Structure 1
Amino acid sequence: MSMTRRQFVAALGASSLLTLWPGTNALASGSDTRMLVVLLRGGLDGLHALPPVADPAYVRLRGALAPDDPLKLDGSFALHPSLKFMHQLYADKQLLPVLAVAPPYRQRSHFEAQDCLENGTAKPGGSTGWLNRCVAALPGSDGLAIATVMPLILRGEGEATTWSPPLPQEVNPILLQSLQPLYAADPVLAEAFSRAIETEAAGEMAMQGKGGKRAGVQLPQTMAAAARFMSKAEGPRIGFVEDSGWDTHGNQAGVLARKLSELDNALRAYRDGMAARWERTTVLVVTEFGRTAAVNGTGGTDHGTGGVAFLLGGGVRGGRIAGDWPGLNARDLNEGRDLRATTDLRALFKGVLAKQLQLSESVLDTRVFPDSRDVKPLDGLLV
């Protein structure tokens, strides 16, 4: 990736500063911290990734879908057995799960929920993202998205670039769902599109049966690439990685066993790639909403509300569970079907940004997350 003009000027300025004052460096000024946001598009089932093993309603609602041999955490919650590295981070007090969390949007559209999460406002809409507004509020900082096209979360006036892996990602199933009605109305293209969808589905099912995945760049490779850039002394302070395929309406147990294993390996690859800088790095793993509390008729779950987020890094106050658990009894569920969200994602974001990037409360309330004074940051997330 070529160096931008701002990166060049920043590097030149840093060199001059080190020449004049050898004892001055990025570590001493606190400007070498890093933050990475990982967005799992499609709606990760938080009850599958972080099973509430002590809630008596859980097994009744999930039945055979409840993961076997979950990795115990605090007696009330566990991690999916595919998340072995994250379990070790929890033991090392570098992983903090945040439960019953969601953006302020409380409906069940993928696109609107992702839009709300990325633009950082109380409802979908807008042309800039909150992560870009963070970059703009930090003079001399840069943002990096590991993506082919700049995502909404990093669009805006702040300095941000994209880097695309050399191999294409697999086709986003949500995009295919959106295109299907358009092609179905075309007498020429409808049949060809239908055949393409069938071929894609057959290939995916065949790979799942073999325990593998179709060709393309996987999340561990993407996260390793993010670490290569962000671990450099003059690398971007703010990064973004996205992954699709988390919309598990059917065969959820098999799909998430593979996807969660990829996520676990990806986080390990990023931690290893950051090396010594890991101690001053924070990673936020988020998704647009949760899933229904009960299993559906095809071994999956449908769009829900409250989900889970994971905060990890060398400076995280981990080894515990954050957030308020609303319970899974019928009277406690949102609309009688979803885990009720008790924490606004913006409160989590604010708590990290205030500590990790030293952004003031006024900047967070008015610039990064406009009109959000009533959303107070979560305290005590980082050491």
Structure 2
Amino acid sequence: MTLSRRAFLTRSALIGCSLAASPVVTPVTFAAAPGDNRLVVIILRGAMDGLAMAQPVGDADWRAVRPGPVPGEAGGPVDLDGRFALHPAMAGLMPLWRAREMSVVHAVSTPYRDKRSHFDGQDLLEAGVADLASGARRDGWLNRLLQHYPGSGTHTAWAIGADPLAVLGGAAPVTRWAPEADLALSPQAIRLAEMVMQDDPAFAAAMARAFRIADGDGDALAAALSPEDMGRMMAEDMAAARGPGETRLAAFVAQQLQGPARIAAFSINGWDTHAAQDKPLSRALGRLSDAIVALKDGLGADVWGRTAVVAMTEFGRTVRINGTGGTDHGTGGAMLLAGGALHGGRVVTDWPGLDEASLYDRRDLMPTRDLRAHAAWLMRGLFGLDVATLERDVFPGLDLGADPGLLL
């Protein structure tokens, strides 16, 4: 008897095949979306201290508000352009900076002001709207992008990790995957899947990739496949898929972007640094740096050259260090951009200054541009969306302003 793919997926439940956690169970389209550019959005939850990440060492007031080592001193930041310096925990990104594959966008924020709630700030960041008043849109701006992206299918966009990622929530289909997903397949089920898919190379390849990513310990694969096949499949990408933390998420993102995927998002926690922030902030910045390097390594030079990565956070932190060695919830912050598609090696900012009269509420970095405008210009350059669509539908009510020239 010959089983169709539909019959196989229907009958698999009867043989104990738990496919619910698999990325391939969601209806799959193998029609590649138009264009070869990719966008990765990393949400930094907890309000990253952008002034610590990209330190304005060229500002005359910097050392008065943030005493500490300067570029060239032990433990000091790494000079970028004489005006700004990168936190030493992110020194691993300097090859990208020198290759003009990394930029910092400084003194930016969402329209959120004064209430300083992480929950509201993150809701507004991911919804991409000006406020959270009754009736405001709550779908995500990346999902609204997909709704204007011709040929978008189930695997065009991926939400990665256990976080709900509201930025991708909405009417357009999105595939979700978390490291905790486990196919729980028996060797017999894998054999049956192979038999069903053997005449459809594209579907068979996707199924094989899902098996080796989601089979947590590899036992089912080892029992079902020949030693030769097991070695070939495992060598391809199992090691990357089983890496730790954000590195594992980034490796999985890279795998999808090598196929039909064009958009992906995941989040990194750990940025709420109210006290003794030096060590936890260094760890968080190191994790972000490692994730970006893993993306570059996993994508390879060709796909990386058509990729932009944007890391953004819900709001900034206070300019001055507080009495417990940390920073409190602030306003203006910074975005980190990476990717071979960038016109990088620049700190993009209309810098407001750090003297007290120039601060927001005399305590925070003054935001001089809406971070949504930078995200919108990235989408316009990568995917060709027109300004009217971006201002009306993707970021309702946004004025894009002048093109900051973020892309090549």
Q: TM-score scaled by structure 2?
A: 0.74
1:74 and 2:81 correspond = yes
Matched, 1:34 2:38: yes
Unaligned stretches of 5+ in structure 2? Answer: 1-22, 183-242
Measure, in 1, the Cα distance between the counterparts of 2:402 and 2:309.
17
The 3-state SS of whatever aligns with 1:63 is coil
User: Match for 2:313 among 287, 302, 306?
Assistant: 287
How do residues 137-286 of structure 1 correspond to structure 2 at under 5 angstroms?
137-141=148-152, 142-166=156-180, 217-232=244-259, 234=260, 236-275=261-300, 276-286=302-312
Could you tell me which of 132, 147, 151 is aligned with 2:143?
132
The answer on whether the counterparts of 2:141 and 2:395 sit within 8 Å (CA) in structure 1 is yes
Alpha-carbon distance, 1:66 to partner: 7.6
Is the 8 Å Cα contact of residues 65 and 295 (structure 1) preserved in structure 2?
no
1:15-47 superposed Cα distances (whole Å, 9 cap, x missing partner): xxxxxxxxxxx8xxx612110000100000011
Q: Give yes or no for contact 2:69–2:77 (8 Å, CA) kept in 1.
A: no
| Residues 167/331 of structure 1: CA separation in 2 closer, same or farther (3 Å cut) | farther
In the alignment, which residue of structure 2 is the partner of 1:110? 118
Q: Once the two structures are superposed, what CA deviation does each residue of 1:308-364 show, in whole Å capped at 9, x if it has no partner? A: 001111010111110111011010000010000001011101110110111111211
d(CA) in 1 for partners of 2:373, 2:402: 4
AA aligned opposite 2:284 = K
Indicate the residue corresponding to 1:16 in structure 2.
none
After superposition, give the CA deviation of every residue in 1:142-170 in whole Å (9 maximum; x if it has no partner): 211112253211111111121011289xx
1:350–1:378 contact (8 Å) kept in structure 2: no
Name the TM-score, length of structure 1 as normaliser: 0.78
Distance 2:91 2:393 in 1: 38
Aligned pairs for 1:338-353 within 5 A: 338-353=364-379
Distance in 2, matches of 1:149 and 1:221, equals 15
Q: For residues 95 and 156 of structure 1, what CA distance do their matches in structure 2 show? A: 30
Shift of 1:378: 3.2
- State the shift of 1:140 in Å: 2.1
Q: Is the 8 A contact 2:332 2:365 kept in 1?
A: yes
The alignment's C-alpha RMSD in Å is: 2.0
CA pair 156-56 structure 1, distance change in 2 beyond 3 A: same
CA distance in 2, matches of 1:379, 1:332: 23
Unaligned runs of 5+ in 1: 12-25, 169-215
* Counterpart Cα distance in 1 of 2:48 and 2:68: 18
If you compute each CA radius of gyration, which structure gives the higher value, 1 or 2?
2
Match in the other structure for 2:58: 54
1:120 CA displacement: 0.8
Q: Return the letter of the residue paired with 1:135.
A: L
SS of residue in 1 equivalent to 2:55: coil
Q: Is 1:119 aligned to residue 127 of structure 2?
A: yes
Report the alpha carbon displacement of residue 126 of structure 1 after superposing the two structures with TM.
3.0
Q: Give the C-alpha shift of residue 376 in structure 1.
A: 2.2
SS at match of 1:348: helix
Cα separation, 2, equivalents of 1:46 and 1:92? 22
